Copies of this chain bind each other. A is one copy, B any other.
Amino acid sequence: MGRWEPDARGRLEQAALELFIERGFEQATVTEIAERAGLTQRTFFRHFADKREVLFAGAGLLREFLVSAVASAPDSAAPIAAVAAALEAAGALLQERRESARQRQAVIAANAELQERELIKLASLASAIAGALRQRGVTDRAASLAAEAGIAVFRIAFERWTSQTNQPDLPQVIRESLDELKAVTAGE
């Protein structure tokens, strides 16, 4: 046993990601996932509605985290600064789970239906961030644009982070991508 014993949910997630990569998302079954985690199917279904939810269960938490980070930015922060601070804070959390983030990304990249689900998740994050900005008094259009731009930066930074082997720092990659967006939209 290692120094850290993952709980049942963590073991199921790890087993599922391994199986999705080894056998493909379509082929892997809940029975196999539970078996590999050394748990029962019943335990699996106590934690996840189905195997797809293993990949998307974190979305709700991420959304709440981003919304509350945007809300708690200083009053003086410009919309894009509030969004950037929220994304970097989320990036710092994800940074600690780099290996499973990388595995999850590989599973999604290999399956068109999962890619669609991921797009829908990202759109829902953008819409939640826009809502949090409107709560700060930002106009509709500026809120939508800052949120969509932020999510585009996040997605592109995330892909870059998971695909690179030199293990860059995710909040740093997010900052660099946002700087590049600023340069690109300024017409440089």
Contact = CB atoms under 8 A, between A and B. Distances in A.
A80 B184 CA distance: 6
Interface residues of A, number: 30
Please give the count of copies of this chain that the complex contains: 2
Contacts of A79: 184
Contact of A152 (B81, B120, B152, B177): B152
A141 B156 contact: yes
A184 B149 contact: yes
Interface of A: 78-81, 116, 119-120, 123, 141-142, 144-146, 148-149, 152-153, 155-156, 160, 177, 180-188
Contacts of A156: 141, 144-145, 148
A160 B186 contact: no
A187 B188 CA distance: 17
A187 B81 contact: yes
